[in-house]
Structure 1
């Protein structure tokens, strides 16, 4: 037993049960002092003593970290509860093959602003706080999970700076209660301000985080905010000053009947991730979604003359040649468009008939964009759905309007003749014998150059197998075809079109991808040697796919050996009558073996 590892106060190093050797039974030397006074301090550790700390954990299985050890002082995880914590120190002595696990007690002492909750749930009761003082505007509050009671705010004047809500902990605002928060909220538990009349005001003058949760009234002021989880506001949302809310990957939902004030060009929702602004029960009454990017305010005004539904809106930088599941694909368009994409979705597809107004600023327009002749174009799974072009409304900001929208996906504002690719009305793939026949149609082509046909067997690695020249300019239905004479017979064949436009000299061509179509030839009976039995001539079905043929006798000796063969077959009249084995290698790398009876 290595007695160089000592634990003051609660660990007797001479007791074998407190020092578990995890690898071998050898005796190793080294020295360390482990103390849990004000912090876990390791002394005399490092190369000189042969001791290295690997980690501090909450459990003996070493699956839950308790914090970080930076070489001299242990920094506990902020979610460790107040009071005694049974932790485990893993270390090596002299060499890495010998690991030790040392249990020890680590005590978290409650600092100022720590919720104890020993008396009740009342936030305003001093005895519920570690220092006997109710938090103020400069107090950093910590709410641990192991408190007997979780805090509830009942008063209209609660305030705090930073708030840390631990795992399993909660902070609740009762009816008509309020809190002003001047710092960040780190929420690993539950934040609930959704009771009737509850008021949460985030007023930090530095960038501030807002937790996900339920809000009755949400008010923001001061500097910009970051939403850190999905949130719902049921009654009132107020912007003041120049504060914006960045949604990131979280959604903020506005309930039916909500009132919103203060939103505009300086105060809006920044949709800088996959999260969006959602409005419940949008019907005949117009609703403004105050959204934009970090660079500009580009709101959406929306009304629905069909069945009321919940709609989510976000706007992103750039207009792209195609989209897949609301994700940009292909190349960004570099001219003749507004440099934004508006992503709109509804909870229940079908039944809507929307009137849409998209707003933008002069600084959002790319080169050669003509606001006197523009339109809203809607990207669907088959390609772009344009409409008639006309002059934009407004005077910086500008807007365009489009009605009778019954499906939702990306929208852009563009010009006739813009680099947006063709409108693909269909793309089909069918088997014809051993050939994959691809066919597609377009209803509109502008500045189109060609269709590149690509094939893959895994959906990641794509190979161009052909190209078809497009008509270039067309407003009529145009049909195209391409035959893949050499599909892969040992795997699923995935096909897509890469639709490429004409590029100006010195610029890269823009392109878009079609939907993927698949064909499977695994069950195709082309790998048959016939006739069987054979007399004079032996044929192989689909010889164009054959790279090599060998005919073996039953002893495994090759009696005939060929490279490529043609449709005239193989003469076998010189072979000894009896059973032979035909081995066929295919260009796709597979091999077929078949027994054949040679007769006379």
Structure 2
């Protein structure tokens, strides 16, 4: 006969509700000292065993009397003597650090004098922890329990004893769930016993007995470490029928729920159901640091169990730290554009399975531990469904039974693919002799012997012998959706485009770089809206063609090798401009073969116009030389360096995803930036100067983002001026222009390089060209630094502060180095006001010699957490010249030792420095010869303490 659980028994009894209320009363700590909630049995809470101490070295295990006096009259269990001689009830364990302290509930002893018609077989110490003190009238709810073990039974007295002494329940860990450092916590315990009536009308029913709570408290100090969490997860799905919908993964908002959601019906050939990413919120504190959030998904038939999951990395968009030290990160992605219908090929009912995972490291151990937190619907995944209907295009799968010829129908299970046929290249198991396809279109392949080749990822690929074949009249290779199956770079299928052209009319799924293209053949994307996976091996010659106005969405990165091109004929290629580290187009520079000295020219961008262009992020790194115009793969920016310094390898990026709002330009009635920015970083920036040619499209001058987030802005082309930002596009300085013709703005004598864009020229530009403005916490103080590229009639600056971002007051003044200047000048100010708490807002007021003034946008500094944070600050960092300023704090004055080492530990600079008591501002000069890279700066204070930080030399 099956044994019923306690809960099952409860549900079977007619008297369930009769004892439910007393049971709940026990769990909230109600009841008398020896309350008989059953018939007439009584329970005696004899002692409680606790291990406690300020650290592992000081911890002791004590057995406390549960209460000061225990009934000793006839008919009650006799009192026990507490071995520790202490009383638990009313104990204050004092301050205990949640990092090092110990407070463990090990168990205890209870004795039950049973009525003749009752028998108790389970006994528990129940307990709870919540903020509170001994003076509070009520204590925490009993949400936890420790089951004791029966140790004796006296048949004559019917006294049953239960004991446990090694439960080791961490009470301090329960304090991690709330409160803050210094919070008082109540730690209360009670007992609960469960048994059965053995006689009378209740025979066979369950009996419960409990006793009064015993109170204690402690004070939690230190940083309360909470387990990382992953919440607020959503999946962004879009289609013509849905629009853009954020589906809740974990039912936390008014958004529709993803689990069991119906996503609509779609045509098997032309349907578009896009998974664009989603959102997530993580929390962490102490040594836990979340580094990434990944959305995992798969599509499967509703009648099958599914296969491997694909991944989409979300992008961190913000991080906020609370007063208690908890860090909250938000992640989001809105344009991943994974077409869930790609590669399906058959009609029917399908499921979309989704889960999210946050990953990071815990730095409390060496080596650091990694952790992950899943939001996966309790291991079941979030499952939505949709229907695929229509008459499917043909589907064919490569079998390779004859040879490696794409155009040989015997190599396919359903004939050679065409523009209306979806094709799959399977990932054959390792060791399989089946050849992968090669495309020789309109060409003859001669016989070849077996050989091997090394691809651009360093993988060895076996190429079998071929008897040769004649495809001289084949025409272009064609396919609709092309799926190249793979699980990793080391486990993937292969498709080689060797001669001729491959036309793709649908989606191109190549996430593990299975597609290999030789130097001369062309791959052309000729369909309507398409999704394209990039190639880790790199493309050579690529065409964007097909339906005018169609959108070709890039899913991963997209590399164009030297000698190749990206040519626009029809359609728009789109990348995710907010995920520039994972979703971009990159053009290779000039390549010289070290063996033959043959020079292959840089990849080129060809044919961009108002109707067919690349919208998103592109980049290239190419060597430039003084006096030689460099067009950087024709991406829209040309530079002619004219200074005495050779610029070396120059990194250039272009982003046309969005535009800079008016607030970044300052001055009176500013206009927004155009929808195009260039980033420029010469390898040798010190002393570099150049003529810049900035090309743009007319459609990038309209529908621009304004300060309120709307897209109603536009700029007058005739008033365009070049602007430069050196602080991450927070602030732009007007550089002007020397020419404007045929959508190209020209500016000579540019001496600073970072981020450039165009906007309307300010009629009355600010008298100071501010290139950086930063505020950083430095221990209990704040360091405010700024740099000017030029100053005209400038008297000086006021540093102002606010605690609400609205009302500002002046902290101090800094005079201009010179009234007029055309060279870079660095300034700093240290806010040493005492008792800074919360968020402080710092802004600059620039004052002209004639009394006019201008304000620069505020920066924020958070004063919570560790008071020693950023005890030393370096600026400018990265170093873009020959001087570095160090601002640091020392409790005593005296000589210190400065040391600069490279990442290998080699000492670059070592010297004595004179430090004052309080804040010292050191100037480290003659760093112009440092090579670009990362360095470690350390200063040993007069006290022997060493402060370190990392710096970067551009």
TM-score, normalised relative to structure 2: 0.35
Alpha-carbon distance, 1:160 to partner? 0.8
Q: Residues 111-150 of structure 1 correspond to what in structure 2 (within 5 A)?
A: 112-131=395-414, 133-146=415-428, 148=432, 149=434
Gaps of 5+ in 1: 1-51, 54-63, 83-95, 100-110, 292-298, 323-328, 456-460, 503-508, 526-541, 543-600
1:165 to 484, 493, 514: 484
Match of 1:152 in 2: 437
SS across alignment from 1:312? strand
Pair 1:319-2:660 in alignment: yes
* Equivalent residue for 1:218, pick from 542, 546, 554: 542
Contact 2:587 2:603 in 1 (8 A): no
Q: Which residue of 1 aligns with 2:554?
A: 227
Kept in 1, the 8 Å contact 2:629–2:640? The answer is yes
> How far is the alpha carbon of 1:441 from its aligned partner?
6.9
| 1:239 aligned residue (567, 581, 598) | 567
| Distance in structure 2 (CA, Å) of the matches to 1:166 and 1:432 | 52
Q: Which one is further off, 222-231 or 303-312?
A: 303-312
Counterpart in 2 of 1:302? 639
Superposition pairs of residues 309-348 of structure 1, within 5 angstroms: 309-316=649-656, 317-319=658-660, 335-336=670-671, 338-346=673-681, 348=683
- 1:374-428 per-residue CA deviation (whole Å, 9 max, x = no partner) reads 64232224965544x4565226x35232334463334444524567795447879
Whether the 8 Å CA contact 2:541–2:565 is kept in 1: the answer is yes
Partner Cα separation in structure 1 for residue 801 and residue 511 of structure 2: 49
Q: Identify which of 616, 628, 631 aligns with 1:287.
A: 631
Question: Is this contact kept in 1: 2:586–2:620, CA < 8 A?
Answer: yes
Contact 1:420-1:446 at 8 Å conserved across structures: no
1:450–1:203 Cα change, 3 Å = farther
Specify every segment of 5 or more residues in structure 2 that has no aligned partner in the other structure, as ranges. 1-258, 261-294, 311-342, 345-376, 381-393, 442-475, 577-582, 591-600, 705-712, 848-853, 862-868, 873-887, 893-917, 919-954
> Is residue 250 of structure 1 aligned with residue 584 of structure 2?
yes
After TM superposition, give the deviation of residue 154 of structure 1 in Å. 3.4
Measure how far apart 1:114 and its partner are: 1.5
Q: Which range moved further: 360-369 or 174-183?
A: 360-369
**Aligned residue in 2 for 1:175:** 498
**Distance in 2 separating the partners of 1:338 and 1:430:** 28
1:359 aligns with 2:701: no
Greater mean deviation of Cα atoms: 369-378 or 426-435: 426-435
In 2, the alpha carbon distance for the partners of 1:330 and 1:393 equals 20
Aligned residues: 413
**1:201: how far off?**
1.6
- After superposition, where does 1:421-500 map in structure 2 within 5 Å? 423-424=769-770, 444=791, 451-453=799-801, 466-467=809-810, 476=820, 481=829, 483-487=831-835, 497-499=842-844
CA deviations on 1:322-369 (whole Å, 9 max, x unpaired) are: 9xxxxxx89999624643452323473537643211234677278897
Aligned to 2:747: 401
Distance 2:502 2:768 in 1: 55
The whole-number CA distance in structure 2 between the counterparts of 1:238 and 1:428 is: 40
| Alignment counterpart, residue 526 of structure 2, candidates 199, 203, 208 | 203
Q: Judging changes above 3 Å, is the alpha-carbon distance between structure 1 residues 348 and 392 closer, same or farther for their aligned structure 2 residues?
A: closer
Structure 1 residues 370, 76: CA separation in 2 closer, same or farther (over 3 Å shift)?
Answer: closer
Cα distance in structure 1, aligned partners of 2:691 and 2:670 = 26
Shift of 1:194: 3.5
> Relative to 1, partners in 2 of residues 1:255 and 1:138: Cα closer, same or farther, differing over 3 Å?
farther
2:300–2:307 contact (8 Å) kept in structure 1: no
Superposed displacement of residue 259, structure 1: 6.4
Please tell me the root mean square deviation across aligned C-alpha atoms, in Å: 5.7
Q: What is the rounded CA distance, in whole Å, between the counterparts of 1:427 and 1:357 in structure 2?
A: 28
Q: In 1, Cα distance between the equivalents of 2:480 and 2:775?
A: 62
Q: How far does the alpha carbon of each residue in 1:257-297 deviate from its partner, in whole angstroms, 9 at most, with x for none? A: 1464752323654343xx31326344523426665xxxxxx
Residues 74, 123 of structure 1: CA spacing in aligned structure 2 closer, same or farther, 3 A cutoff?
same
Cα pair 1:79 1:144 within 8 Å, conserved: no
Distance 1:302 1:500, change over 3 A: same
Q: Normalising to structure 1: TM-score of the pair?
A: 0.53
Distance 2:798 2:842 in 1: 10
**Is the Cα contact below 8 Å between 1:269 and 1:277 reproduced in 2?**
no
Q: Are the equivalent residues in 2 in contact too, given 1:436–1:519 (CA < 8 A)?
A: no
Q: Determine the C-alpha separation between the residues in 1 that align with 2:749 and 2:779.
A: 47
In the TM superposition, what whole-angstrom CA distance separates every residue of 1:179-235 from its partner, at most 9, and x where no partner exists? 111111112322334423232122113344253342222222123322332312332
Q: Secondary structure at the match of 2:428?
A: coil
Q: Structure 1 residues 422 and 315, CA, compared in 2 at 3 Å: closer, same or farther?
A: farther
Q: SS of the residue aligned with 1:201?
A: strand
Instruction: Give secondary structure in 2 for the equivalent of 1:127.
Output: helix
SS state at 2:514 partner: strand
Give, in whole Å, the separation in 1 of the partners of 2:716 and 2:810.
33
